Structure formats: C-alpha cells, structure tokens
Structure 1
Amino acid sequence: MNEKIKNAVDHIQKKTTIKPKVAIILGSGLGGLADEMDAQATIPYKDIKDFPTSTVAGHAGEFVIGHLQGVPVIAMKGRFHYYEGYPMWKVVLPVRVMCAMGIETLIVSNAAGGIHKDFSPGDLMLIRDHLNQMGDHPLIGPNDEEVGPRFPDMSTAYDEKLASIAHEEAEAMGFELQHGVYAATTGPTYETPAEVRMFRTLGADAVGMSTVPEVLAARHAGARVLGISCISNAAAGILDQPLSHEEVIETTEKVKVRFLELVKRTIERIGKGDHQ
C-alpha cells in the first residue's frame, strides 16, 4: 500500500472502531447529510498527514464516521478539486484511503449546471455516465496492481442496481429523478455558452468541476458507484443571466431535504443487501 494512503488509514482507524462499508462524498451545500449520522468520529482533513485542505465555500473539510440507517458509513464533508491547484493524486487521495479501509460502495454527489433543456434548478439527476473533459486522469503513472488493473473497464462506471434503487426510492417519495451524462471540466470558471453547446452536442446533460476523478479511482479499486447531481443552475447560455457560486449554494439549500431523504433511503436498501 502507498505510504501516504497507509498513514491516512492508520490515523483514521485510531479514531474509530467502525469499519465503513459505504462512503459518501458530499458536494457543495450538501454536507448536511453528515449531521444525520450517528457519528463516532469527526476528523478534519488538516489533521491527516499529506492531506490537502478544502478551500471552497460550502465544503467543511472533514471526515465523519458513524452509522446512517444502521449502516457503517464514512462521509466526506467537502472534497478537493483540481482547480484548487492540487495534483490529481491528491484530489483522489481520500477515495484511495476509503477504499483501502474496505468500503464497497461510493455515493458521490455534486452541484452541477443543467445542460439538458428539460432540467430545472433544484432537480436531482442520477449520473448514468460521464465525459472526462479535465485533460488529466488520476490513474496516470505507475499502477498499483494490489489496488486494481492497469486498464480498468469503465463500461459500467455507475452501478445499475444502485441506480435502480435510487429511482425506486425517488418514485416512492413522489418526485421524478432525472438521469443523464455528467461532463467534468477543470474550472474554476463557469463554462462559456459555446462550451455548453459543445457539451450538449457531445451528449452531456449536466456539467461540473468534480466527481469524475473520484469515480475513476473508486472503480479502479473495485468499489461500486452511485452518482447524484443537484442541478443548481442552468448552464451558461440557456438563461440570460450570470452564474454565481451563491446561486449554487442557495439552490442546494432548497433541495437538500429531498436529497438527504433519497440518500438515506438508498443506504437503508444497501444495508438490506438489495443492491446485490
């Protein structure tokens, strides 16, 4: 095991007796799910050797470990982004650490701009597939065969059984869960209208600045992935108005109750083994 990963795992395991089976990455404005957990330990990223710190508003920058719906869970309140100046290996370091701890499932969330013209701010979109438009890849460099293969298969990057559970639970809650393709860019600028038209032509339904590197690292290590985007705004050129991070946080605040309930219901189903 990579020494940086081992050091982080050792640090976390000294703080908790829980062996998490599900990991959750909470995107901008969605960290409230961690407050729903029966938490045993809260570990700031800054206390872990070799970990960067989260610098973005809406990202608390800490692990929370405990139980949610009776399932042992580790949650990331905030993530690291490529645009913050971190190399890809640091962006995905938390995912590497959580996989080394034995997680089997990763639920990853984000706030994203809606490209599909039928999407509205506040919609939740199940990620069915993605486009890596970041110009970099977290698996570039020497491969650790103990973690995963040199050439991982990405034909099912997002798990179909987990997606079906999420759809069923959204229907039971009485709302339509959108689904589509997520395009990842480096940021930190929002996309231009021309770029949004290009992404739509390429088949993207939403666009954001995260998630894909984490999914690639998780799938490399054999974890199953469920991805959910909160459509926080219409992407550039769709509406005649500027984009802002304040709008992103405002929208996620409005939708977080629905998001939290959907994830809790999905995790409860995972705990029952319905995803097997």
Structure 2
Amino acid sequence: MRKFLVLVLMHFVFFSCKNEVEIKEGVVENHPHFTSNQSSSDSLYTVDYLPTSTTKQIVNHKYYTLSYNEKFEQAEWVAYELKKEYLKNNDFKRPYFIADPKVTTGSADWRNYKKSGYDKGHLCPAGDMEFDINAYNDTFYTSNISPQKHDFNSGIWNRIEQKTRYWAEKYHDVYVVTGGVLKDSDKKIGTEKVSVPKYFYKIILAKSGNEHKAIAFLVPNEDSDKSLYDYVVPIETIENTTGIDFFPNLKNLKSSHDF
C-alpha cells in the first residue's frame, strides 16, 4: 500500500511539472515579444509599446507585429524593434511577395500592385531585418506592404528609414511604428481595391535613462526634397487622424525635434 501511494504521488508530481512547463511555454508563444533571447529588462520590444487596434486583427510575426485592416487591404500599423546589433548588410536574395497566412481575412494579393504605377512599399523595411534570413523573408508578406509612389518610396521615405537606423545605432535600441493614413476617399488599385494612402507616418521611440523620447513623421505620398524635420508632428496629430492610440501605457509621452 505504501509503495502504491509513493507511485501515485510521483505520477502526480510528474504531470504537475509537465503542465507547468506547457503553461509557461504557452505564455512565450502568445507573447512573441518575449522570445528566448529577450527580456523586458534589456529590450524595448514589449507588449507595453503596442498601439491600439481599430480592427482587433493583430498579427504576430517573430520580429514584428501588425494590425491588419481588411477594409483597406493593408496594415493600419506595423510595429517592430530595431536593435543596434540588427544593423547588418547581408546580401540576401529578395523573395517573392506572398499572402500572409496569419491574416484570417486574407491579405491582399501582390497582383493588385501589378501595372498599378505604385511600388510595393515595405512598412517594416527588409533592410532592417537583414540580421537573419527568416526575419528578412518575413518582411515579404503582403500584409507588410502599402502602395507608394516610386519617388516617395526611394526618396524621402528611404531617407527616414536610414535615419531610423542611425537612431538605432545611437540609442542601441529603438521601437518603430509605421503605416499609411487610411481613408475611405483613398484611390484604390487592383481587383481587391487596395487603398493608396495620401500620407504615411513613422514614429520612433527610444529610452534615454529612465525617460522615453519619441519623434513622429507625417509625410505625403509624394516626392520631396525637403528636410525630414519639416515633417515632424506631435504624436497626437497622427492619433487624431488615424484613431489609433500609439503608446497607451506611456504617460505624458511627447514627441519633438530633439531626438
């Protein structure tokens, strides 16, 4: 009888420990921002920095998160962390764009952009993910692109992306939220009627000591030779025009030119 009780106790302990491990793994899986090599103490990339979603369709990829808006057939925002050590320049082969299998409503087909006159403009740039081939390939989901005029994409938008990399090196770790300002009045392309935003925004957040600082850009989808700082706006301006609360867990966060 005593041996039987010991065996039952051992069986109970084994399955209790097994279930505890499965629960902990589930927490990591459900919150991909906390991966095996990241923690809230040394990384900006936590759920605390995610914007609100107007659609409730949040899609988590390993190195970026997005909120997909089916009505406009693109993400209303893409959020990701850019660490200094991510700044690599590997000669990866560019893959084809494919639909995002994690978008339950179905992300727009790349053929909507064909002969439209618009670039398939990355929101999370492939150039920010060259530290890992899988991270790089993940940026080629159609949920991560938006129609951009070529001169805008290769011009001022590219300059802002390069400046973001400069800040990632300066601060060692920045958090980026970006997307198009989506409106019913937008021009549409393709059979799925993908909206062409008139404006794009990019918000960069950094931690300096115990304080957070941010800079926000709101830029017309047009070619421009102006200074980047001509397009700096308060975060509230972008929030008012998109209906998105970008950093709901950060109190009294202000954006400025001093970044």
* TM-score using structure 1 length: 0.30
Q: Which has the higher contact order (CA 8 A, sep 6+)?
A: 1
Larger Rg: 1 or 2? 2
* TM-score using structure 2 length: 0.31
